[in-house]
Amino acid sequence: MFNLNSDIRVSSQKEVAWEGFEGLNLRACLTVAKSTGCRKAELVSAQGTCALQRSSISFIIAGSVVHRPSTAQLHALTCDDYLAIIPPPSKADQFGITWGSLPMYIPVRPNAGNAAKLVAAVLLWQPDMRDTAPLFCSELNIPFTHCRMDRMLRAWIQATGLDSNSAKLFSCHSARVYLACALLAQGRSPSTIQAMLRWQSADSLRVYACLNASAYAAHLDAAAEADISSVRAAHLPLLDSYNMALQLQSHMAAPAEV
């Protein structure tokens, strides 16, 4: 998907320039989702939910944390550098107490869909971005809406050759499922997968506490090489409370007829 080089036709009246501001922000947002398993409400805010801001990110350059890298530093990022993201509060951590001090580390890599490079490009577009500004926007300081994100994602998928009916099966949450499947395909344990997707369990919290930048990067590099065509959803560990509700419901006996 990230190797597409044509503009995205969203509707008969709307086209998104692949190299334009909105196209860049869309690519950065979706590749962050793919690399971190962030929920849509963590990526872009809706109805008061917390989401990523400029203050949520820093870079680790030559071993040092740099909150506001210079233009020269952003242009000179190497494969030894990382994008560090502080997870915002989420439905699994409503006050940011559990994950709020534990960054996600995305290594800089040369591929087109690398989140660290795309976020760097977003910062290069607006070097004076306020700390409180939303990270991913459709226009300057105007964050994507959830509806717009879903519409544009499906248009993007169609632009790669998939038909419209198949494209409707995908949403931003698909990136979260992808990461879980890719980690599973590479033999990562349920607790590691839960930790990478920030689902709270005793085992996942222990695993996450040991994830430094290089360990985090090793998992993501492995996931990027995974073939997920044979992964079964039933083999995935618990990732969301919605899934928990479905599992509980499926194990409950049907109510007796009166």
> Is 9 part of any domain?
no
> Is 197 part of any domain?
yes
> Is 5 part of any domain?
no
pLDDT at 208: 67
Helix residue ranges per DSSP H, the chain: 21-36, 40-43, 71-75, 115-125, 146-159, 164-167, 173-185, 190-196, 202-209, 213-224, 241-251
pLDDT tens, the chain, 258 aa long? 777 777 888 877 788 888 899 989 999 999 999 899 888 888 888 666 678 999 999 999 999 999 999 999 999 999 999 999 988 776 666 666 665 567 899 999 999 889 999 999 999 999 999 999 999 998 888 888 888 888 888 888 888 887 778 777 777 777 888 888 888 888 888 888 888 888 776 666 667 666 788 988 999 999 988 877 666 655 565 566 544 444 445 555 545 444
> Is 215 part of any domain?
yes
Give the pTM: 0.80
pLDDT at 9: 81
Pair 1, 113: CB distance under 8 Å: yes
pLDDT at 246: 46
> Is 257 part of any domain?
no
> Is 153 part of any domain?
yes
> Is 61 part of any domain?
yes
Pair 116, 110: CB distance under 8 Å: no
Number of domains composing the chain:
1
> Is 28 part of any domain?
yes
pLDDT at 245: 44
pLDDT at 32: 94
Half-sphere exposure (Cβ direction) of 183: Cα atoms closer than 13 Å: 28
Looking up residue 218, the CATH number of its domain turns out to be: 1.10.443
Q: End-to-end CA distance of the chain, in Å?
A: 53
The domain of 65 spans 14-159+169-238
Q: 234: how many CB neighbours lie within 10 A of its CB?
A: 5
